[in-house]
Structure 1
């Protein structure tokens, strides 16, 4: 049997472009490697702080993300994703530059989830910052106009600690912020039949949101797990 090389690292199909941050990444967080049931590649994009990417719109960072993405592909990644839903802004440019499948944002699931739901029900989005989530972010992820949006902004812990890049995180307060925001979303939008978590740092609380609302919850974890199965199909 002959095999062909060409990669530096084998066995990890997904490459993850990471923001440069210091806040705690607990199990379930995309940036905690123990969250994944399969190996992944990581590459930190220097200068891409949570505040700069989310609140400022990632000015001047496109080239840095392209360079980091190319490095991941050169190392062996077969597909690229990112650890911030707001990077949907770069979806067209990264897809064109990297020449492998690219999924920048959990928001890209919204249109698919809508097709899964019964008539009269739609997916709602839960975001870390509704004030920063623009129509352009949504359009580049092909999120339908009028999609209900909920947010953890104004909560006690989650948005402040993550976007402020704080060294400590009160996990229980962050969990409650996510539950409260999800409940508020469905209370104000009874047409919501499922929730898509924009923020990759919300994944540790997806099960709690599901328990509190009774609704299906989709996240970057569900998206990347699906992505992985396309990049590295299981052999039977």
Structure 2
């Protein structure tokens, strides 16, 4: 039996990418990893019941439920698993040892690729949903060249509060403008920045605006997910 036939022997089929999603209550606009209309292919979500602060901190008490969610996605027949928050990187190593399919928990897994593409004197601006824990989480997936990373805490933007704290309606356009302006300011302050990485799964809707303001390559969760999808579902030319 071919691998493709084995993949289809489930209650349903066709989902190449399984996404671990926190149970957060706020508007998910198109472009957000948690909005299925973002993708040109079917994705399957599995909700992980957790407190986002605990995920930021990499609280080991979350391990059992995150592993269980990943195994459920694997059992459903997905070909690869990703996270819907960059801080799932805290659980990358344990997850990849508990399932038999590829695991790409975080947008931060792209850091080595970006580093290899830039000159030795160039840096990466990383925009994160939690500035307090981002350095530790980068290290959790082997990104230890901290002198090459300009870490930017997006929580400084009032427009990000509806996502971060879920206490008021999201003004997506206002957030787009604010984030792009912050990115422009960051790059102007440090011309050695050669690329931008948006850690947060809520930020890809604004990647184009960031690129227009900075003129740089912008990596995010969707660049990762589209890459992974093609690796597990190649097309015949």
Q: TM-score, normalised by structure 2?
A: 0.91
- Moved >4 Å (runs of 4+): 1-5
Q: How does 1:58-207 map to 2 (within 5 A)?
A: 58=59, 60-135=61-136, 137-143=137-143, 144-146=145-147, 147-158=149-160, 160-166=161-167, 168-207=169-208
Aligned residue for 1:214? 215
**DSSP 3-state at the match of 1:11:** coil
Alignment coverage as a number of residue pairs: 232
Contact 2:21 2:47 (8 Å CA) reproduced: yes
Tell me the distance in 1 between the aligned counterparts of 2:54 and 2:173. Answer: 26
Contact 1:15 1:41 (8 Å CA) reproduced: yes
1:36-67 Cα offsets, whole Å, 9 max, x none, are 01111110012x2333323x444521111100
Aligned-pair RMSD on alpha carbons? 1.9
Show structure 2 runs of 5+ residues with no match: none
Closer/same/farther in 2, CA of residues 123 and 224 from structure 1, 3 Å limit? same
The structure richer in helix per residue is 2
Q: Displacement of 1:167 after TM fit?
A: 5.5
Q: TM-score, normalised by structure 1?
A: 0.91
Tell me the distance in 1 between the aligned counterparts of 2:146 and 2:135. Answer: 11
**DSSP 3-state at the match of 2:127:** strand
Show structure 1 runs of 5+ residues with no match: none
Aligned residue for 2:53? 51
Tell me the distance in 1 between the aligned counterparts of 2:14 and 2:211. Answer: 32
